[in-house]
Structure 1
Amino acid sequence: MKILRILRMAFNSLRLNRLRSILSTLGIIVGVASLILITSFGYGAQREILSSINKIGSDAIIITPGKVSDVRRAFSSIGSTVTKPITYYDLKFLKGQIPGVVATPSLTTARATVKVGANEITVTVSGVNEDFLVALGYDLALGRGFTSTDVNSFMNYAILGSKIANDLFGTEPPLGKSITLLNTKFYIIGVLAPQGNTMFGSVDRNVYIPITKLISLTNTNSLGAIYMKPPKGMSKDVLIALVTTLLKNRHGVENFTISDMEQFANLANTATSILTTALTLIGLIALIVGGIGIMNIMLATVAERTREIGIRKAVGANSMDILLQFLFESIVITVVGGMIGIVIGVLGAQLASRLSPTAITPNSIIVGFTVSVAVGVFFGVYPAVKASKLNPVEALRYE
């Protein structure tokens, strides 16, 4: 009962000094909301990357030119010397030697302009084959994918990413319509379902054409990578050994790197965990700053209420009663601020998801609320102890 009475007195004190209480609470609100919001970006990036990796499948492998020992360098020239590039003919050779294998190339232009009437948009153009939907785990919203006949016949066909289709045609069905790309007319045979941000960038803003057509238009045959899945009944390790032997014999040197999706998943987990930890620390710093603000205001409150403390002690309150009252005031401020901060942080993350992937986890909410209460206790102890140690005689004489 005594605890409830002290807690009620703490609430009454905060209610009587509303402006001071609101200012104290603001620091905690901003700190908790910031913690939830910024960590949602880290968890969102992790979810998107791992989702794109899972779409491809854990049994997939990626062949990149140049021999490197670190998967982080697989898509760059750092640490490798490409004496013999990987070409589309290497991909055709591997498909011919490994019946049933699923393999698609990565041949991409830097930027190109696609035109529909007077409407022009800058896009990324990727040359692919008939396996690219299965190999990369993409789904179609409309139309069909490429066939081997389309690829071998250098057909002027295109598949659009969802955002490009919307930007060019709006609500009109784009199938069968033409676009001008690389000074060539292409006919649309398919539109991808929204894919979001993947490990390959923003797929929704890409245009896909047969790789044979892209090679003929750009005179470029060197691939950035080959994405491959083993045929039914073959393990990933057997596929890696087989591809290594075939390409090494074909090139005369093992001047390529084979990575698997498990390596990329581990790398993505590590990178996003570091990012999320860094963002969490930034949010915690904001909370600590809010706690320092509470301590400063509570110290000022002790000075303002010195006479009140003296009167309470004179009528029978002991040092523990005074300590608990001021400590409860700090805790109430942080609990209320933490709850409001959680609501604002969650709403902010949901709004931010329209611009960038976000993910709100129970851990970020629990950590934010727990730390806010801990901040209230930690930074409220010193002012509470100082108030409890005031001499009642000197406090009553205080003006």
Structure 2
Amino acid sequence: MIDLIQEIYGTIKRNKLRTFLTGFAVAWGIFMLIVLLGAGNGLINAFESNAGGRALNSMKVYPGWTNKPFDGLKEGRSIKLTEKDMEITGNFKDNVTAVGATIEQSSVNLSYGEDHVSLLLEGVTPEYLHIDAISIKTGRFINAPDIKEKRKVILLHEKTVEMLFGKKDANVIGKYVNASGLAYQVIGVYTDMGNYSPSAYIPFTTLQLIYNKGDKLETLVFLTQNLPTEKANEDFEKQYRQAIGNHQRFDPTDRGAIWISNRFTQYLQQQKGNNILHTAIWVIGIFTLLSGIVGVSNIMLITVKERTREFGIRKALGAKPVSILWLIIAESVAITTFFGYIGMVAGIAVTEYMNAVAGEQVMDIGVASATVFLNPTVGLNIAIQATLTLIIAGTLAGFFPARKAVMIRPIEALRAD
């Protein structure tokens, strides 16, 4: 083994520049692979983070406009969801565990002292907390007694608090804010991805009463169960459209009449996108690495040609073909592994630097914020995969030149120039 190492070292030492340039191509290939995988993980982790806090077993139903005539009614009719639709939703007891709704009042002037802000006031039910990405910073969310007693309580976004009270960490629980002449007691502050306008939440029944909304709804929200597959969700949505269509008198196949936002199927689609991204990164990285591996293979072919006479003498003296085969492959693996390791370490260092500089990159649009880059690093499993890739690549790079060296007949090798 020591003789083999010395021989490989001697060969590399005699061709320093050639070995360095070839090794650099390998190092660059594995470096790009690691960096691309790290960047890809940063995007994928951001997607997962943005989905966090939201119940995957949840659906939202929005009213729309009919695109098809039905039962003597023309297309283009506006559908208005009502509390009767909430009852219909609750009848799916095998698949629906909780039902809620939202209603809205836009352009409400909210003030505290001299400061004020115009925002969207949303009336919600307690179920909304588990369905949307709402994280309670301080205080609490709307609860059942608030709904039953039609309490004038309000939940503010932390940036709304900053606008009204001067700083978003202000202690506002129990204080009163004025909403177009009505006083609401602040019961909580929340932080989340937000919307494009600063929403404030009050009990569904309170907004319904004060702003005379009747039985009309903006959205229906509900939690589901026993729908583990995409096919099961599609079948449920078909049955649900049929039930709502019977009440609202629209064609159940008219997808424009109501819009269903299904978090579970959206999550599955996101996972497919993540898998495609991950695969694309590996393909690009592998092809980048292959350019360096081809260089190693070419160098080994040149080495075989230069040492043809030497191999002939070895075989004439009784050297077994497998020893020559092993010599060439070992040299190829040594080059790819050494320089590949350098490239891998450099790649990991860069991903760690990216994590330190932009590991929690958040895009802020007023009150809206979303994580766009999170923890762009690679795990131990990736390092193992990269190592195996290097070993396999080095073996393949040396195999074909080694096979050529083994096939050389001693008499022909001795005649070589």
TM-score interval, normalised by the smaller of the two chains:
0.5 to 0.7
CA contact (8 A) 1:102 1:228 kept: yes
| Equivalent position of 1:393 in the other structure | 414
Worse-superposed segment, 96-105 or 138-147: 96-105
Match of 1:129 among 124, 129, 140: 124
Query: Shift in Å at residue 288 of structure 1?
Result: 1.1
1:372 is displaced (CA, Å) by: 2.2
Q: Is the 8 A contact 1:64 1:86 kept in 2?
A: no
SS of residue paired to 1:209:
strand
Counterpart of 1:228 (choices 190, 206, 222) is: 222
- Give the equivalent residue in structure 2 for 1:72: none
C-alpha distance in structure 2 between counterparts of 1:283 and 1:108, whole Å: 52
Q: Once the 2 structures are TM-superposed, how far is the Cα of residue 159 of structure 1 from its aligned partner?
A: 1.0
Q: Secondary structure at the match of 1:228?
A: strand
Give CA deviations for 1:15-37 in whole Å, capped at 9, x if unaligned. 55444333322222232233333
Aligned to 2:297: 295
Partner of 1:229, secondary structure, is strand
| C-alpha RMSD over aligned residues | 5.4
**Cα distance, 1:261–1:24 mapped onto 2, change above 3 Å:** same
The alignment status of 1:6 with 2:4, answered yes or no, reads yes
- The residue matched to 2:138 in structure 1 has which SS? strand
2:58 match: 60
Alpha-carbon contact 1:104-1:135 (below 8 Å) kept: no
Q: Whole-Å Cα distance in 1 between the matches of residues 394 and 13 of structure 2? A: 18
Partner of 1:252: 249
Q: Which has the larger radius of gyration?
A: 2
Q: Helix, strand or coil: the match of 2:78? A: coil
The structure richer in helix per residue is 1
**Preserved CA contact (<8 Å) 1:39 1:280:** yes
Q: Which amino acid aligns with 2:199?
A: Y
| Alpha-carbon distance change, 375 to 206 in structure 1, aligned in 2, over 3 angstroms | farther
Give the secondary structure class of the aligned counterpart of 2:333: helix
Structure 2 stretches of 5 or more lacking a match? Answer: 67-74, 92-96, 107-118, 178-183, 362-372
> How far did 1:63 drift?
2.0
Whether the 8 Å CA contact 2:102–2:125 is kept in 1: the answer is no
Inter-partner Cα distance in structure 1 for 2:172 and 2:84: 29
CA distance in 1, matches of 2:25, 2:325: 23
> Which structure shows the bigger proportion of residues in strand conformation?
2
Superimposed CA distance per residue, residues 13-68 of structure 1 (whole angstroms, 9 cap, x where no aligned partner): 33554443333222222322333332345455555545665743343223244599
Q: TM-score, normalised by structure 2?
A: 0.61
Question: How many angstroms apart in 2 are the aligned matches of 1:324 and 1:364?
Answer: 28
CA distance in 2: counterparts of 1:26 and 1:130, whole angstroms:
61
> 1:95-244, aligned counterparts within 5 Å?
98=90, 101-103=98-100, 105=102, 127=122, 129-131=124-126, 132-136=128-132, 138-146=134-142, 158-160=156-158, 173=170, 175=172, 190-192=188-190, 202-203=193-194, 207-210=198-201, 226-229=220-223, 244=241
Residues 41 and 138 of structure 1, relative CA distance in 2, 3 Å threshold: farther
Q: 1:120 maps to what in 2?
A: none
Equivalent-residue separation in structure 2 for 1:310 and 1:33 (angstroms)? 37
Q: Which runs of 5+ in 1 are unaligned?
A: 69-80, 110-123, 180-185, 196-201
TM-score if structure 1 supplies the norm length? 0.63
Q: Is contact 2:101–2:220 with CA below 8 Å preserved after alignment?
A: yes
